[in-house]
Amino acid sequence: MVSKKIVKLLNEQIALEADSSNVYLAMAAWAEANGWKGTSAFMHAQTEEERGHMKKFMHFLLEVGEQPVVAGMKDPQNTFKDIKEVFKLALAHERKVTASINDIMTEARKSNDYAVTAFLQWFISEQVEEEAAVVQVLDIIEKAGQVSIYLADKEIGAMRQGK
């Protein structure tokens, strides 16, 4: 039997995963509206993944005989300065999710709840992958910025050629 405290934490995680799905859906919509097709595709895929995460938590609670609670959601951020801001916010969000999952894992270990510990292990690995993917995107954006400077530098150099 899963403790009431852990059930509460798992229900809060359902709300956080649903919120993640909504946060990324708003990012996908903004990106699509502003012509950033790649970012939009990334975020559309992400929003579905997060919904899948939410359902995994729901199914687990049902399997251990608890009724999952569906909570209301707050409005996500809908406008962004640029795609760099989108991914910086996504990274901050993923770190919040990681911290939340780690907190549940800590509680499960304290309670010697092996079922919850085993269930959460998949999410621990998933968070490593998710954070790494967003860090990789930020690196791509950073390097793309440097490419623009490199091209500008070439043009600046060309201005003095033949003088």
Tokens found for residue 22:
């909504």
Give the interface size with ligand FEO as a residue count (CB under 6 A): 7
Q: Quote the least distance from Cβ 97 to ligand FEO, whole Å.
A: 4
| 19 counts as binding ligand FEO under rule CB under 6 A | no
Tokens found for residue 26:
């708003």
**d(C-alpha 155, C-alpha 160), whole Å:** 9
Complex with ligand FEO: residue 97 or 104, whichever CB lies closer: 97
Q: Mask of contacts with ligand FEO, 63-92, x by CB under 6 A?
A: ------------------------------
**d(C-alpha 32, C-alpha 131), whole Å:** 23
| Residue among 53, 83, 105, 116 that touches ligand FEO (CB under 6 A) | 53
DSSP secondary structure string, 60-77?
HHHHTT----PPP-PPPP
Q: Which candidate, 11, 27, 13, places its Cα nearest to that of 127?
A: 13
**d(C-alpha 92, C-alpha 43), whole Å:** 15
**d(C-alpha 91, C-alpha 123), whole Å:** 16
| 40 counts as binding ligand FEO under rule CB under 6 A | no
| 97 counts as binding ligand FEO under rule CB under 6 A | yes
**d(C-alpha 50, C-alpha 14), whole Å:** 10
| 13 counts as binding ligand FEO under rule CB under 6 A | no
| 130 counts as binding ligand FEO under rule CB under 6 A | yes
| 107 counts as binding ligand FEO under rule CB under 6 A | no
| 20 counts as binding ligand FEO under rule CB under 6 A | yes
Overall size of the chain counted in residues: 163
Complex with ligand FEO: residue 20 or 40, whichever CB lies closer: 20
Site residues (CB under 6 A) for ligand FEO? 17, 20, 50, 53, 94, 97, 130
